Amino acid sequence: MLKKLPLPVTGVALGAAALGNLLESCSSGVRLFCGGVSLVLLLLVICKILLYPGQFREDMQNPILASVFGTFSMHLMLLAGYAKPFLGSAAAVIWYVGIVIHVCLILYFTAKFIRKLALEKVFASYFIVYVGIVVASVTAPAFNAQAVGQAAFWFGFVLLLGLLVLVTWRYLKRKGVPAPAQPLFCIYTAPASLCLAGYMQSFPEKSWPFAVGLALLALVLYIVALVKLPKYLRMPFYPSYAAFTFPFAISAIGMKMMMAYASAAGHEIPGMDILVLVETVIACALVAYTIIRYGMFLLGGK
């Protein structure tokens, strides 16, 4: 079963950890449960890499799998927040290790796949590599490292703007997306929402117009991914189902943070509480559904 474990399960682990943070205000027990599930998945991935290094090296030659592996380091950054109450300042080591691994992935991916860019090999998973570093912005306050968080935010935000053009151009001009890669389109909803959450967390002084612009962009991309979602849910199981987890969880987190900021700034937005509730319910359902489908796959089902 371990050998059969697909590398994109790191995205499911990340989604479970993000869902725990989203639901923390409802129940600390649910948060710890989600964190426990994500930790188990992470440990399984680490075991697979150690036991089957040849398969891991082969996976990293594939632009889709290599880009999706960015969720591994993103997960480490989130998990460090879970570990802090138990490990204290030592949890910062996990956080910085996650950042270093992600920077190394950016360098590797750029040298391996971007230098000789082929448009038909560009997918929404590219957002993970270059915008995923913004998870450091979301978690930076826990480690008193807002400067690091702000630097990560601006790097990810600038790359977000460029990748939106590149990835959108690819999907418009190259229609032939292989079926196993099609669910990756749902990642579209993640980068702007992640930047929104990172901006809320790492910048004590915020610009209201900038925050509104980010929130609107996040909402538009969320709707685009949500419209395509039913089609992907009807498809057979593929490891790319992992794209149903973190993108929708971080979208709900970003909007929840925006709602809190708007309220504190005296700019109540009518209906935003309903939007956050709907996004939260969708995120819960998709993360649970994806974990179940992964479990069925690993146990020999479909």
pLDDT along the chain (302 residues), means of 10: 91 97 91 94 95 95 96 96 92 96 97 90 95 97 95 97 95 88 96 97 95 97 96 95 97 97 91 96 97 91 62
pTM: 0.95
φ, ψ of residue 20 in degrees (nearest 5): -60, -40
Which one-letter amino acid corresponds to residue 107? Answer: L
By the 8 A CB rule, do 97 and 125 touch? no
- Torsional sign, CA 112, 183, 195, 20: negative
Report CA Rg, the chain.
18
pLDDT at 301 (0 to 100) = 63
- How far apart (Å, rounded) are the C-alpha atoms in residues 182 and 37? 26
Q: Which pLDDT belongs to residue 302?
A: 62
pLDDT for residue 60: 96
* The pLDDT of residue 1: 79
